Amino acid sequence: MSDQTETQQGWLSDEDIETVRSRMPIVYVEAVPVRVDDHGVITHVGLLLRAMPDGTISRSVVSGRVLFRERLRDALIRNIEKDLGSLALPRIPVAPTPAAVIEYFPDSKVSGFTDPRQHAVSLVYVVPVEGICEPSQITLDIAWLTAEEANSPEVRAEMTSGQDRLLRLALAHAGCLP
């Protein structure tokens, strides 16, 4: 018997996740954090600034895997808190129906959404946050922009892997694009 007992169910070792990634799609949740007014109208969109593995800096949305036996709403909360801090206070929808479903592939020609590590299926949500958001983990900064600013060519140019298209899908779903 091993001295190392797995205490956190759902996590795989680095070696195991690489094996799984090479054989099957991985399920992710992605959240576009937003601030809303008293009528539920989006006033600002939160975009993360992250250092990428290749050394570049990129804007993105909250993203992370769904763990084995984890409900979608729990995965959303966990990943939002991982990127925005424990005081973000996300308002997860009662019925977690995604705004979009996106497939990432190692080859950008397949869908336009790219993840060089794997084939991933991502459920995309627009999630209002009410609390204090502070960068944590690998997030360097968070910028709160109006929908128009977030959709500008300058900001979209700072996004990679299809995140600019994901943002436009989410904003269109929320009725924020002209």
DSSP 45-89: EEEEEEE-TTS-EEEE-EEEEPPTT--HHHHHHHHHHHHH-TT--
Per-residue confidence band for 53, with pLDDT thresholds at 50, 70 and 90: low
Residues in the chain: 178
Check whether 174 has a pLDDT greater than 90: yes
Average pLDDT over residues 111-137: 93
Give CA–CA dist 172/161, Å, rounded. Answer: 19
Name the residue with higher pLDDT: 6 or 121: 121
- The CATH code of the domain at 24-173 is 3.90.79.10
Name the residue with higher pLDDT: 21 or 114: 114
Per-residue confidence band for 123, with pLDDT thresholds at 50, 70 and 90: very high
Question: Is the pTM higher than 0.85?
Answer: yes
Check whether 1 has a pLDDT greater than 50: no
Residues above pLDDT 90, as percent of the chain: 71
Residues 6+ apart with CB under 8 A from 91: 127, 128, 129, 130
Per-residue confidence band for 17, with pLDDT thresholds at 50, 70 and 90: confident
Check whether 132 has a pLDDT greater than 70: yes
Per-residue confidence band for 46, with pLDDT thresholds at 50, 70 and 90: very high
Three-class DSSP labels, 81-109: HHHHCCCCCECCCCCCCCCEEEEEECCHH
- Tokens representing 59 are 């804007």
